[in-house]
Structure 1
Amino acid sequence: MTAPTTATDVNQPSLQPGAPTGRRMSLPVLMLVIAGALALTSLVRLITGADGITNVSQMSTALQLAVPIGLAGLGGLWAERAGVVNIGLEGMMILGTWFGAWAGFQWGPWTGVLVGIIGGAIGGLLHAIVTITFNVNHIVSGVALNILALGATRYLAPLAFEGHQGGSAKQSPPVDSLGHFTVPGLSDGLETLNDKGWFLVSDIAGLLGGLVTNVSWLTLIAVALVPATWWILWRTAFGLRLRSCGENPVAAESLGVNVYKYKYLAVIISGGLAGLGGVFLSIVANPFYLEGQTSGRGYIGLAAMIFGNWMPGGLAIGAGLFGYTDSLNLRGGSANVHALLLLGALLLVVGAIWLAVRKKYVKAAITFVVGALVFAWYAGTNEVPNQVVSATPYVVTLVVLALSAQRLRMPKADGMQYRKGQGK
């Protein structure tokens, strides 16, 4: 029996992948939520005088920090939509950083990009062999891959980089830049508008200015991969077959889908995307490989994917959120994080009101109390400790996942072991 060629050809409910069990937020509602969050942020900026939370430089830095997280999250999305849990994203990113820098300083940055993707894909292939062919637990395989990648790059770095100018046992020689672009006229206009300090308008200008000012070409490619992933997985026959493997591989096999092939392809692509995220770190964010430079971004990318409910758009929002909080470490961290305490308090109060409207009074009361405590922290201090600033991205990761846990819907067969013909 041949596989279905379009999404409408599959009539079985078990093969309708990705449909959440609850009500999905419509695009107009989502845009209203984003606009409301921007309005609250603008209000906080005016009250606190912390102009740095929405200026062009802050947003540009946030975008740069969000890209590797988003690419790792996209990698996780590809694998898990095919039913393979990919905890090994961190290891695949590590391989991408090393291979990208190794090839980049010798043969140029674009060669480094290609080789870094291949390095991550090799990690994906190893994970696929272990989990798909040998049916090893996906979590165990991913953790082992992370350890293997770290050990392998530590062993290879002295052999490859020592003896070259600027290289050492823990650092590669510098890699040439891929180049940046700025949209003439538009960038300057948005920056001028951002400097006016107007309510909401200047904040939107700062957000948009960060997207068109001093942007790497690799950033443009990474951003384009988000809608490309959505189109491939949700609008093509290939994507339907791949997602069916993550929902009900037995039913997919009964319709003629080669489940092993699609799982292998998904995990290899997953590794390549994570490797591209690593390349971004070692060629764009820093023009060299440095041991430990991933700093857990593979795990944060996995959190962004879960926050986004295994959807590319939600993943992009999650990556942007985590990238923004991470950028606070680099630009006026203490003052900006202190201002965001007020924003957090306001958001919690709004959340409490929403819960009360829905007659969830106990949750509303708890949320309101937490919001009051956060406001008391803001009102009783002038700054926050540097340790809090450094921990902010990870705290936000935990809080966001905790708050979004009830609406999540993972692929039904995600992480399950599968043997060809097991449904017969």
Structure 2
Amino acid sequence: MTATLTPGTTRPATRRRAVPGWARAALWVAVAVVAVSYTSYATGLPELTASGTVQSAVRLGVPILLAGLGGLWAERAGVINIGLEGMMVLGTWGGAWAGYQWGPVAGLVAAAAFGAVGGLVHAVATVSFGVNHIVSGVAVNLLGLGVTQYLASLVFEPISQNPRESPPVPKFDTYSAYPFGEWLRSLESLQRVGISDAAGIIGGLVTGVSPLTMLAYLLVPVSYLVLWRSPFGLRLRSCGENPVAAASLGVPVQRYKYLAVIVSGALAGLGGAALILNPGQAGYLENQTNNRGYIGLAAMIFGNWRPGGLLGGAALFGYSDGLQLRSGETTVHALFYAATLVLLVVAAVQVYRRRWFGAGTAAVSAAVMYSVYWYTDELPEELTAYTPHLVTLVVLAAAAQHLRPPAAIGVPYRRGED
């Protein structure tokens, strides 16, 4: 039996099948990798895709990733967590203290516990007493800094003779995919366009990996499964979307908020431990977090409060940080060329979708990026040191139009309110 159209009727519009979010993310990752690979070839800078650069990016991205995961748990429950920086600071001290005494595993547990204490303070202030979330977060940051300075002078100064640093702390061992890693290194040394770039990137991901790094990346799918594929996660996210409706269905909103913020602090504390217990890191140093808690928060916002997007943001910030530490001004300057290529692809996609304003904005941004690259030889050293922070500002500005935070984030909730 076939359907016919009578006069005056219109043919129903066919809906295009939406591309899954993970597929879109994978495509954009591929675009970025190809852009960096071509930039490496065009500028003669193999350091852009070298395995050592990728290793540094992974190592430096782990604290940002863990801090961002902490922010994700808290904010999905409706609690803004500006205090991630202070919780990371507490984690650095706890990890160094217990790691020095009993080894890296004990340091990891202590870092999570110290961070969780910071989360508990934030939860008491915001959930129980209704303190403004931003004010409470700033207070936690100041409290974390002050407490660790006092504890460091009390505990570490008699040993290291310096109140601002700890004695050497034992590290986790590292593991490599042997002999796969050796084969990738040989391909990288051939310096073949595309092949060597891919070998360098993959080799950096499977070489010199610590258990803490493995744990950090494992927590991304775990967080997704818990928050999006379990009844517990549904209830927790409902507290961030509509706590009154959640309470009317029997969800203990305050209990879930408490739990989410404490888990948030523990994850941020693990991010602090990554600055202590991963190979290549020093022991405890005053101010060693260097605003990574805020960058983790930016990575979470860039990822639109989703674990997969957060992972991409942490990788981007870790890569920019690792590049400027290993290679200096010249290679960071080459990122303007890579950014130009990515923006041209963005402009082409916007034209295809007939979004003319977005296409024009991307094209103008590409012209600006290429002008900076063409008319300068390298970035000033003073500016290069702030590459991760500048990337944070640019990425947040670019992503601001497509963000969808939890509906009730930052809204005070009292039991029994309508």
Structure 2 residue aligned with 1:47: 42
Could you tell me how far apart the structure 1 residues matched to 2:203 and 2:60 are? 16
1:366, CA displacement in angstroms?
Answer: 4.1
Could you tell me how far apart the structure 2 residues matched to 1:25 and 1:297 are? 31
Structure 1 residue aligned with 2:236: 242
Could you tell me how far apart the structure 2 residues matched to 1:361 and 1:217 are? 47
1:25, CA displacement in angstroms?
Answer: 5.2
Structure 2 residue aligned with 1:230: 224
Structure 2 SS opposite 1:348: helix
Which of the numbers 268, 285, 292 marks the counterpart of 1:274?
A: 268
1:329, CA displacement in angstroms?
Answer: 2.1
* 8 Å CA contact 1:328, 1:389 repeated in 2: no
Structure 2 residue aligned with 1:187: 181
Structure 2 residue aligned with 1:254: 248
Query: Following superposition of structure 1 onto structure 2, how do residues 111-190 of structure 1 map, counting pairs within 5 Å?
Result: 111-164=106-159, 166-190=160-184
Could you tell me how far apart the structure 1 residues matched to 2:337 and 2:413 are? 49
Could you tell me how far apart the structure 2 residues matched to 1:57 and 1:188 are? 14
Structure 2 residue aligned with 1:387: 382
Deviation string, structure 1 residues 216-236 (Cα, Å, up to 9, x no partner): 111111111111111111111
1:308 maps to a residue whose letter is: G
Could you tell me how far apart the structure 1 residues matched to 2:346 and 2:111 are? 43
1:167, CA displacement in angstroms?
Answer: 4.7
Shift in alpha-carbon separation, 1:367–1:235, aligned structure 2, 3 A: closer
Moved more, 371-380 or 236-245: 371-380
Structure 2 residue aligned with 1:198: 192
Which of the numbers 349, 355, 358 marks the counterpart of 2:350?
A: 355
* 8 Å CA contact 2:317, 2:392 repeated in 1: yes
1:50, CA displacement in angstroms?
Answer: 0.7
1:24, CA displacement in angstroms?
Answer: 7.5
Which of the numbers 329, 334, 343 marks the counterpart of 1:339?
A: 334
Could you tell me how far apart the structure 2 residues matched to 1:296 and 1:50 are? 29
2:149 maps to a residue whose letter is: R
Moved more, 312-321 or 185-194: 185-194
- State the TM-score, normalizing by the size of structure 2: 0.92
- Point out where structure 2 has 5 or more consecutive residues left out of the alignment: 1-17
Could you tell me how far apart the structure 2 residues matched to 1:190 and 1:170 are? 41
RMSD: 1.5
Are positions 1:298 and 2:293 aligned together? yes
1:380, CA displacement in angstroms?
Answer: 2.4
* 8 Å CA contact 1:65, 1:326 repeated in 2: yes
Residue correspondences, number: 400
Could you tell me how far apart the structure 1 residues matched to 2:27 and 2:52 are? 25
- Point out where structure 1 has 5 or more consecutive residues left out of the alignment: 1-22
Could you tell me how far apart the structure 2 residues matched to 1:199 and 1:162 are? 52
Could you tell me how far apart the structure 2 residues matched to 1:151 and 1:30 are? 40
Structure 1 residue aligned with 2:212: 218
Could you tell me how far apart the structure 1 residues matched to 2:22 and 2:95 are? 38
Structure 1 residue aligned with 2:391: 396
Could you tell me how far apart the structure 2 residues matched to 1:27 and 1:298 are? 26
1:315 maps to a residue whose letter is: L
Could you tell me how far apart the structure 2 residues matched to 1:307 and 1:97 are? 25
Structure 1 residue aligned with 2:26: 31
* 8 Å CA contact 1:82, 1:243 repeated in 2: yes
Shift in alpha-carbon separation, 1:255–1:330, aligned structure 2, 3 A: same
Shift in alpha-carbon separation, 1:192–1:131, aligned structure 2, 3 A: same
* 8 Å CA contact 1:177, 1:287 repeated in 2: no
Structure 1 SS opposite 2:82: coil
* 8 Å CA contact 2:63, 2:272 repeated in 1: yes
* 8 Å CA contact 2:350, 2:356 repeated in 1: yes
- State the TM-score, normalizing by the size of structure 1: 0.91
Deviation string, structure 1 residues 23-67 (Cα, Å, up to 9, x no partner): 885333332222222112111111101100111000000000000
Are positions 1:410 and 2:405 aligned together? yes
Deviation string, structure 1 residues 182-208 (Cα, Å, up to 9, x no partner): 111011111222222233332222221
Identity, % of aligned positions: 52
1:363, CA displacement in angstroms?
Answer: 4.4
* 8 Å CA contact 2:156, 2:166 repeated in 1: yes
Are positions 1:58 and 2:53 aligned together? yes
* 8 Å CA contact 1:38, 1:200 repeated in 2: no
